[in-house]
Amino acid sequence: MYPHERSLVEKYKNQPFAIIGVNSDTDLEALKKVREKENISWRSFWAGPEGTRGPIPSQWNVRGWPTIYILDAKGVIRYKSAGANEKAIDEWLEKLLAEAQSGN
């Protein structure tokens, strides 16, 4: 998903938009190398040495990777997907950014 995420960061750089990632790799040092190699410029948290059983995935009830949550400007989850459906993600982002710009 990194290429798609990078394209979203670029496309929406002047919009009310942010990506927050959670990585389930159990090796923090290896993860740091991946972040650098993949040019991850957005906030990305480490789930901890427990990986998929770490505190963030547990609290958010993540059962598969990737799991995508899209929140609106008020912090309400408007879309959740287990899997990377780029078309649906793009459609939801366009819809929610239009809502944010219109004040709804």
Statement: residue 82 has pLDDT above 90: no
Q: Each residue of 15-49: pLDDT tens digit?
A: 989 999 999 999 999 999 999 999 999 999 999 99
Q: What residue spans define the domains of the chain?
A: 2-102
Q: Each residue of 42-73: pLDDT tens digit?
A: 999 999 999 999 999 999 989 888 999 999 98
Given pLDDT bands bounded at 50, 70 and 90, which one contains residue 83? confident
Architecture of domain 2-102: 3-Layer(aba) Sandwich (3.40)
Global pTM reads 0.85
pLDDT at 12: 94
The CA distances from residue 69 to 9, 42, 85, 86, in Å, are: 16, 15, 12, 12
Characterize the bridge pairing of strands 43-46 and 77-82.
Answer: unpaired
The alpha-carbon radius of gyration of the chain (Å, integer) is 14
pLDDT at 30: 94
Instruction: Annotate 15-53 with DSSP letters as a single string.
Output: SS---EEEE--S-HHHHHHHHHHTT--SEEEE--TTGGG
